[in-house]
Chain A
């Protein structure tokens, strides 16, 4: 091995091109509030104060009227499984086995009717159509940030759903 390696990963460096998770920090993302809310167990999105349109995922402008006067609203944190899939081979790095995903109905009163989400804390064969699931927030690996001569690790969370026990 030469002294100058030229492969950053072998020298412990981070690259967004090999990061499954969003870059959530406010220095890089204007909808960081979504992730801040997740840390409090809230599932949120943006609503236009002008025309009332609710967007998902959250935006910095309203896609209907292009107003940038938006507010944060809460979404339901429980839903019902419409259909689900289990994958047990060729699972990508970052996911355990089995990888379970479900098309979830958040209810007729929810501004976001459906989400396709990972279901965790669930064994193979552990869910069926019609089951109730709930939001679950979990820690994901942080990443380094260099910003104005300072360096730190940005902590992150993400969300999935889990069976209601």
Chain B
């Protein structure tokens, strides 16, 4: 039995948004921001590279991307050099895989970098490529590739079964955009009023413009290494990758695992596994980043993660429980709604914010935060990924 514990010691991101840059440009910006985060850290310290991106093959016509990136970043990997494609959870997957590689002793210092170049020279491709993000032969021809359709159906079912209101959906956007005003690297730094959210044009009713995360280019990067190496490279408080889970129970929408669309049985199972793997429970978690791709998503997520009763996510958030000072401050950097969602980068961007929270240096700091988690769903809600971070490793 080995006794290596993986930690996260540095992180950074490029500016998210509509970028005048290629995926390779943004990866370099994020890696620089990450290494600049820990003075003394150089590319020569890094022996492993994991790159997370889903659409790079379609949108930038590049396969086998990891060596391309290693070369541009001046890294010469000797333990791992690979790309991961888990769509919206690719970044979190990279962090979990890096943890396993470090704790196995195979890798010493792993750079996990994720990037998505969303904006293509002609804009039709942004929506069209979603045919490859869901089960192609069965769900794409039904037109449910563009995610607002699927999540609007979820919102309608959640409203029907639990009485969730349009105003409660809007509260998620108001709160997360509010948090995002403190994040200069997010896509938006704009506070929203309830009225602005409610009066915005429909994307797919009941979801309006501000209920949907924006389309954003972006990249983010973190360094995962052992506790021993972390002490050598950094004087900051240690932040452990304490555990996590990744659950996939179906792919085609017809095989949805819940009783109805507002019941996310696969996420409930992911939460149970993540808590079991870390010896923690919801009341131990001080701050979190969840996958608010749509306002309704965060409402269901606080339920399935166990922070309120099933069906109570709307009132829970509308009453301020996910703000700083609430029961569980959530998406403290703005979340997907305000920061944007370049798929392969998102889980890493969430990890950067959580690392800073547990080290006491976040822009919107949760005082004394000791345990935290990040969550992503992927595709048409077919996979759930949770990473649990802590100032203490699992005993």
Contacts and interface: CB of A to CB of B under 8 A. Distances in A.
B160 interface: yes
Given A83-B157, A158-B141, A92 B254 contact: no
A87 interface: yes
A83 B160 CA distance: 10
Contacts of B143: 87, 91-92, 94-95, 99, 101, 118
Given A87-B148, A116-B150, A160-B142, A92 B156 contact: no
Q: Which label, helix, strand, loop or mixed, suits the secondary structure of the B interface?
A: helix
A112 B253 CA distance: 11
Contacts of B205: 85-86
A75 B136 CA distance: 21
A14 interface: no
Interface residues of B, number: 38
Interface string B239-272: 0000000000000111110001100000000000
Interface in A66-103: 82-95, 99, 101, 103
Interface residues of A, number: 33
B190 interface: no
A99 B205 CA distance: 12
B137 A85 contact: no
Contact of A56 (B148, B153, B252, B261): B252
A41 B352 CA distance: 53
A21 interface: yes
A116 B127 CA distance: 19
Contact of B261 (A83, A93, A117): A83
A106 to B, nearest CB: 9
B203 A87 contact: yes
Contacts of B137: 22, 57
Interface string A141-165: 0000000000000000010100000
Interface of B: 58, 124, 127-128, 130-132, 136-146, 148-150, 152-153, 156-157, 160, 201-205, 252-256, 260-261
